Amino acid sequence: MSATLSQNMLLAVPMAPLVGAIAAGFFGKQIGRRGAHSITILGVLIAFIISAMTLKSVAVDGARFNETIYEWMVLGGLKMEVGFLVDGLTAMMMCVVTFVSLMVHIYTIGYMEEDPGYQRFFSYISLFTFSMLMLVMSNNMLQLFFGWEAVGLVSYLLIGFWYTKPTAIFANMKAFLVNRVGDFGFILGIGLLVAYGGSLNYAELFGKSAELAQVKFNAPLWGSDWMMLSVACICLFIGAMGKSAQFPLHVWLPDSMEGPTPISALIHAATMVTAGIFMVARMSPLFELSDTALNFVLVIGAITALFMGFLGIIQNDIKRVVAYSTLSQLGYMTVALGASAYSVAVFHLMTHAFFKALLFLGAGSVIIGMHHDQDIRNMGGLRKYMPITWITSLLGSLALIGTPLFSGFYSKDSIIEAVHASHLPGAQFAYLAVIIGVFVTAFYSFRMYFLVFHGKENFHHKPFPGEHDHHDDHGDEHHEPHESPWVVTAPLILLAIPSVVIGFLAIQPMLFGDFFKDAIFVNHEVHHAMSELAHEFHGAVAMATHGLTALPFWLALAGVVTAYVFYMVAPSIPATIGKVLRPVIVVLENKYFMDWINENILARAARLLGTGLWKGGDGMVIDGVLINGSAKAVGGIAGIVRRVQTGHLYWYALVMILGVIGLMSWQLWPYMWPQFKALAGL
């Protein structure tokens, strides 16, 4: 591909998965299962190949693209159009989305093999890929919002994929409603920028950023004016809090585990949850001008990184452990955004996409091997039955906890260093949160790893869920766990490779090179984090060597050792701690009572408000007074008039005479009144 990017080839990137989604969705019965997975995988493969070629052109040849593809309409001077902006940030996201999606598509062949909704599932995940690609390739706010809402819609369809399962329906409605809250903030932010900037186009808005920073509101509170840009950026970030599951809008993400495992991997690794992180990085020219917004981002990210990690410690469902890990890691990315280390945030987004997809698909492979038992307390010793799943899951776990030389180490340690270098008021709290989070991450990751793959085999004493007691070849009343088929293990191996090496290869160009030079803007005079990181960086090998003596490595090692002692050597310790710290465990088991607050206070208050507006506003005022009241008034007046219209001639003659008398009296009254006063002596 030449240094100039072809519009038609770029257009093929989102269109290829869309064609696959339409074919599998509308013609699934005609083309059958093989046809459905073939056409959707082909579509995503085409998208990945073109994305890889685009990345090469952008990184090596310096190619860029920012053009309108289709002008939808013009309102006044406001152009609403479909357009693509391709730079380093977009090209990297295109490759991550298409590669992870391709792995998930292949994996799905094995995982969903017996599901009656096979074709529908492939249609949805292909549509998900199209939606995310439209979001990341956009060069304007309108298309960004289209992709934003489209990933929300498809996640709703996928989380509730098993629509006969009540918990799945509750989970997808929860995801949909929580994201509506975030999206309300998001569209308010877009509205403010468009109202004051006069354009939906990124480049035009960013060009006016200095002017926008001068606009102030008369504040309703606190007696000082508010910067419009601060309000707009906070509103945009509220949208990101919904999509990227930041506290307190995180509550939908653990429940999204109700969907099939492949979609858990796709939502958590490459699509939905990365949208918010990507959006804030894309809007860096605006966020850089508001320390208030950055501080808000930093604190919210820190709370999410630490407190969601704590919840991962007490989970026993294998998928939920990984889900809370995602929440915590998204908090790390958000902390990096708040510290103005946008490139570090998207670097961690990329490394995390690979090892988190690997961990989710590895968990799915374990679930297949365990005949759909997801409780890690019923596992143990699986490494001898599932060697490929074991080794790839170990590599993913090592990447997650930030082991030196693994991809997660380079991105996670860079986040910690960036926060340490930040001078924002919330930076000290954020640094403390991410440092403690290192130990917590290592502990819950290896708690799961040891309970699943090592120790005593806990699956012999009972048959798996949904199975009848019967004897296998050895006479035991159970099925042996087994390694998954190649369509499941091949994606695990292909994801394990970047999980190990991508950080080592990419840290120099992505953080300290020119890869993001025109995609991400940082005001180095005010926000010093990236400058200090660049000053301390002496190469990937030197960073790994230094990492072996740094605090995060020792905290991660302590987490692993603690997990090993607690669950392999002396399992009585966690039980004892659980009894001593019972009140804390209750709080964690109830997820800080966030679900209770949402369902019993916020949802009930919203329901009462809705009922009041319905019965009081709609029923009494609109229907009772304005509509039915006016009808009754007309009816009452008509009843009176009807009594006057008798049809008798003498009645009409009398009324006419009375009318003439009344009219004459009215005309003569000004002359008669003085005479009347004189006669009366007034």
- Please check the confidence at residue 266 and state whether its pLDDT lies above 90: no
pLDDT tens by residue, 308-342: 888 888 888 888 888 888 889 999 999 999 888 88
State the average pLDDT for the chain: 84
Return the higher-pLDDT residue of 367 and 643.
367
HSE of 554 in the Cβ direction (CA atoms, 13 Å)? 4
What is the spatial distance between Cα 124 and Cα 18, in angstroms, rounded to a whole number? 10
Q: Which residues pair with 216 in a beta bridge?
A: 227
pLDDT band at 175 (very low <50, low <70, confident <90, very high): confident
pLDDT tens by residue, 482-493: 777 888 888 888
How far lies 473's CA from each of 387, 460, 467, 479, 480, in Å?
A: 22, 14, 16, 9, 10
pLDDT band at 461 (very low <50, low <70, confident <90, very high): very low
- Please check the confidence at residue 464 and state whether its pLDDT lies above 80: no
Instruction: Find the range with the poorest average confidence among 201-210, 264-273, 320-329, 435-444.
Output: 264-273
Q: DSSP assignment of 257-303, as one string?
A: GGS-HHHHHHHHHTSHHHHHHHHHHHTHHHHTT-HHHHHHHHHHHHH
Return the higher-pLDDT residue of 670 and 328.
328
**DSSP code of residue 138:** B
pLDDT band at 680 (very low <50, low <70, confident <90, very high): confident
pLDDT tens by residue, 39-78: 999 999 999 999 999 988 888 888 888 888 888 888 877 8
Listed in sequence order, the residues at least 6 apart from 310 whose beta carbon sits closer than 8 Å to its beta carbon are 440, 588
Average confidence (pLDDT) over 250-277: 81
| pLDDT on residue 221 | 62
Average confidence (pLDDT) over 614-626: 81
- Please check the confidence at residue 463 and state whether its pLDDT lies above 60: no
Number of H-type helices and E-type strands within the chain: 29, 4
CB–CB of 229/286 below 8 Å?
Answer: yes
Q: Which helix (H) or strand (E) holds 72?
A: strand 65-75
- ∠ CA 464-469-470, nearest 5°, is 110
What is the spatial distance between Cα 76 and Cα 94, in angstroms, rounded to a whole number? 33
| pLDDT on residue 598 | 77
Closest to 15 measured CA to CA, from 145, 126, 158: 126
- Please check the confidence at residue 465 and state whether its pLDDT lies above 60: no
| pLDDT on residue 49 | 92
- 60 class by beta-carbon count within 10 Å (0-12 exposed, 13-18 middle, 19+ buried): exposed
Residues in the chain: 682
pLDDT tens by residue, 542-597: 888 888 888 889 999 999 999 898 888 888 888 888 888 888 888 877 778 787 88
Rg for the chain, CA atoms, rounded: 32
> What sign does the dihedral 336-340-341-343 (CA atoms) show?
positive
Average confidence (pLDDT) over 117-125: 88
Q: Name residue, tokens 């990365």.
A: 274
What is the spatial distance between Cα 178 and Cα 172, in angstroms, rounded to a whole number? 10
How far lies 176's CA from each of 216, 276, 281, in Å?
A: 34, 16, 24
Sort residue 402 into left (φ over 0), alpha (ψ -120 to 50) or beta: left
What is the spatial distance between Cα 409 and Cα 501, in angstroms, rounded to a whole number? 11
Return the higher-pLDDT residue of 502 and 268.
502
| pLDDT on residue 220 | 65
Write the single-letter amino acid at 254.
P
What are the φ/ψ torsions at residue 71 (nearest 5 degrees)? Answer: -95, 115
- Please check the confidence at residue 432 and state whether its pLDDT lies above 80: yes
- Please check the confidence at residue 467 and state whether its pLDDT lies above 50: no
pLDDT band at 133 (very low <50, low <70, confident <90, very high): very high
| pLDDT on residue 612 | 86
- Name the maximum alpha-carbon separation found in the chain: 129
What is the spatial distance between Cα 352 and Cα 97, in angstroms, rounded to a whole number? 12
Which of 272-276, 296-300, 469-473, 590-594 holds the top average pLDDT? 296-300
Q: Name residue, tokens 């991809």.
A: 407
Average confidence (pLDDT) over 87-91: 89
Return the higher-pLDDT residue of 370 and 348.
348
| pLDDT on residue 3 | 55
Q: Name residue, tokens 């000290």.
A: 428
pTM: 0.84
pLDDT band at 682 (very low <50, low <70, confident <90, very high): low
**Percent of the chain scoring above 90 in pLDDT:** 16
pLDDT band at 652 (very low <50, low <70, confident <90, very high): confident
Average confidence (pLDDT) over 336-362: 89
Return the higher-pLDDT residue of 270 and 574.
574
| CA 348 centroid distance within chain | 16
| pLDDT on residue 223 | 57
What are the φ/ψ torsions at residue 164 (nearest 5 degrees)? Answer: -90, -5
Return the higher-pLDDT residue of 575 and 298.
298
SS3 labels along 320-367: HHHHHHHHHHHHHHHHHHHCCCHHHHHHHHHHHHHHHHHHHHHHHHHH
